[in-house]
Amino acid sequence: MWEFVNFYFIPGLVLGCIYALGALGISLTFGILRFANFAHGEIMMLGAYFTFTIMGLTGWHPLVAALPSMALAALLMLYLDRQFFRPFRDSPTIMLVIASFGLMLMIRSAVWVFYGTQSKPLLRGFQRPTQYLDGAIQFPDKHLWIFLTTIVIMLAIWYLLTRTKIGKAMRAVSDSPELAKLTGIPVETVIRATWIVAACSAVAAGVLLAIDSQLDSLMGFKMLLPMFASAILGGIGRPFGAVLGGLVIGVAEELSAYPWIGVEPLLNPAYKTGMAFAIMVVMLIWRPSGLFKGRVF
Amino acid sequence: MEELAGYGNYIVSSLLTMGGIYAILTLGLNIQWGFTGLFNAGIAGFIAVGAYVFAILTKGPAAEHLGGYDLPLPLGAIAAMIVAAIIAWAIGKICIRLRSDYLAIATIGIAEILRLILKNETWATNGPRGISGVDKAFEWLPRPWGDIAFMVTILLTVLVIYLLLERAWRSPWGRLTTAIRDNEDSARAAGKDVETFRLQSFVIGAAIMGLAGAYLAQVQKFIGPDSTDPTTTTFLAWVMLIAGGSGNNRGAVLGAFLLWTVWSATQIVTGWLPQEIIVFGHPIENVPVRSTYLRIFLIGLVLQIVLQRYSAGILPETRPAVAGKSGKTGLEPGRTT
């Protein structure tokens, strides 16, 4: 029983938190800019590399070093939007998908030029799990940081979207861009705000993933499929649906390796990503609008 | 004389052979994107399927992986096309009715899943070590002639596919797919079954990509789950099509050969670079490797520039339906939702 919690459920929640943070940005940009942003995973990865560099320069803790990297990534994202996405605002959205696809490869190859392809640890040394409830539940401190960071960021984004003017404007544009424009909402400002939120949450997801495992130039690409699956499961344009979707898919991926029948893992752990894909396919067939009645384009 | 032979070998076995394989790939993509406006982000997955099916069916017996069927090579190539088509049919059936974004996500997903399967089902594919010693057509011919005959086979394949696609482009089928691409709603209003035609175009394109995979396995004589970087291959095909002119079969072929020449020539140049250079007093190590990655970056930049400035490509699309008048560019399908 406790083995199940410690080795399957808690790691699933950790993974789910990371997916949730990533999927949140994808769902927001999909809802507001109306295209699937393939470069989102690479922003995650790039943010983690920024953090790595800042840690090397200052010796700060990764979660502290993540703050300036968020600012850097947000600035970069605004620049990339101006250069590569804004020219296509009035074009069919598939052009934006192609542009983001190109951006994905550009960001990754830029990281390869500067950092190489070798993966590196963000945190050195092995962390012994801390014990709770007389040793029944145990997980390393880094998992606690991941939970807490995710909760803090979620609360901040929830506040932004429901209590501030710009957040309400973002939701309005997501619901109907034409109507929002007619009521005088500055759509370009909303788009910029969306990129900033997406970049910051992506960097958070990237840094947490690098803390949990390690820094790897392909980590963003590997996250892309589960993040899209989470966004679709929750409903496109429903940020909190995406969060729930991320948690469900993270837990489902880890639980798929649990020996439910007999002693062998139910699904070879190498196929964990397959779980996300399977969930996505089921949603696309059964209910493309997701659990929370998101948009279908 | 020796040097001349070296150049000849480069032209035959790289420029024309690999260029031809990319031309096949780009023509397959042209059906999907240029004709019908379907975004396929998992081209590498269909190549891999074609390559593995071909290798397993045509190789002699081997202990490490499934195989030993020793089928004739053309049969292997046909099987490669069929399996790629079946996978495309399944994935298309699920998301062809949704907007292109979903197809893009699903194709990138299926490519990743296929890679996982090829890597982990060791009994069938020899896992990460891959399948080596793949049979190549005309290998029994003496040294230069085998390569030349193989190259001619590929170029003939390009020609045949090109002629078939030209025929399709001018046929009612081709006119209908472009109608769906440009205005789905009016095609539907005219009583056309949009989903079926889209699915057909996606499946045919994927089958052609599977054939390109079968040829690729022969050129490399080896196929492994990571033997080609999936994103770079997928991406090259896209840049080739868009730069050459999507919706124009001649443009697709031209773009493939042109970009492949630039791509492979720059690869040679990066090999000449010194290991270490000093820039402003800072030593930069691993220069050849780094410049290889820089090359990928630049090809991405080329795509962005072409997309924004020259979206019609080198040879823009011409519409047979309105002879004499050049149509809109293939890149701007007028779907608004």
Place of tokens 């260029």: B19
CA distances from B198 to B32, B297, B315 (A): 8, 32, 24
Do β-strands B277-279 and B222-223 pair in parallel, antiparallel, or remain unpaired? unpaired
Give the separation between CA A236 and CA B100, rounded to whole angstroms.
Answer: 15
Cβ of residue B110 closer than 8 Å to a chain A Cβ: yes
Q: Would the pTM count as exceeding 0.95?
A: no
Give the separation between CA A57 and CA A127, rounded to whole angstroms.
Answer: 23
Question: Does A100 fall in a domain?
Answer: yes
B303 to A112: CB separation less than 8 angstroms, yes or no: no
State the alpha helices, DSSP H only, in B190-278. 194-220, 230-244, 249-272
* Mean pLDDT in order along chain B per 10 residues (337 residues): 73 86 96 93 93 90 78 91 96 85 89 89 84 84 85 95 94 92 90 93 96 93 80 89 92 95 86 76 77 88 90 83 47 44
Is the alpha carbon torsion for A214, A250, A197, A113 positive or negative?
Answer: positive
What is the reported pLDDT for B2? 66
What is the reported pLDDT for A294? 76
Number of domains in chain A: 1
Question: Does A14 fall in a domain?
Answer: yes
A225 to B109: CB separation less than 8 angstroms, yes or no: yes
Question: Does A253 fall in a domain?
Answer: no
Give B301 to chain A, closest Cα distance, Å.
7
What is the reported pLDDT for B1? 58
Domain span at A203: 2-112+137-217
Which of B25, B15, B16 shows the shortest CA–CA distance to B213?
Answer: B25
pLDDT of residue A297 exceeding 80? no
Interface of B with A in 202-241 (CB under 8 A): 231-232, 235, 238
pLDDT of residue A231 exceeding 60? yes
pLDDT of residue A218 exceeding 80? yes
Residues paired with residue B277 on neighbouring β-strands, in sequence order:
B284
- H or E stretch at B106: helix B100-120
Give the separation between CA A211 and CA A99, rounded to whole angstroms.
Answer: 30
pLDDT of residue A40 exceeding 60? yes
What is the reported pLDDT for B284? 75
Give the separation between CA A52 and CA A66, rounded to whole angstroms.
Answer: 9
Question: Does A77 fall in a domain?
Answer: yes
Give the separation between CA A224 and CA A33, rounded to whole angstroms.
Answer: 18
CA distances from A163 to A148, A154, B199, B266 (A): 22, 14, 45, 54
Question: Does A151 fall in a domain?
Answer: yes
In chain A, what residues touch B332 (CB-CB under 8 Å)?
91-92, 95
What is the reported pLDDT for B280? 72
Give A68 to chain B, closest Cα distance, Å.
25
Question: Does A47 fall in a domain?
Answer: yes
Q: Identify the band that residue A290 occupies on the pLDDT scale cut at 50, 70 and 90.
A: confident
pLDDT, mean of residues A218-246: 92
In chain A, what residues touch B112 (CB-CB under 8 Å)?
225, 273, 277
Residues A68-113 pLDDT 10s: 999 999 999 999 999 999 999 888 888 899 999 999 999 999 999 9
Give the separation between CA B87 and CA B109, rounded to whole angstroms.
Answer: 12
Residue among A33, A96, A106 with most chain B CBs within 10 A, to mutate: A106
CA distances from B115 to A156, B128, B142 (A): 38, 10, 36
Is the predicted ipTM greater than 0.90, yes or no? no
Question: Does A286 fall in a domain?
Answer: no
Give A112 to chain B, closest Cα distance, Å.
6
Give the separation between CA A161 and CA B101, rounded to whole angstroms.
Answer: 25
Question: Does A297 fall in a domain?
Answer: no
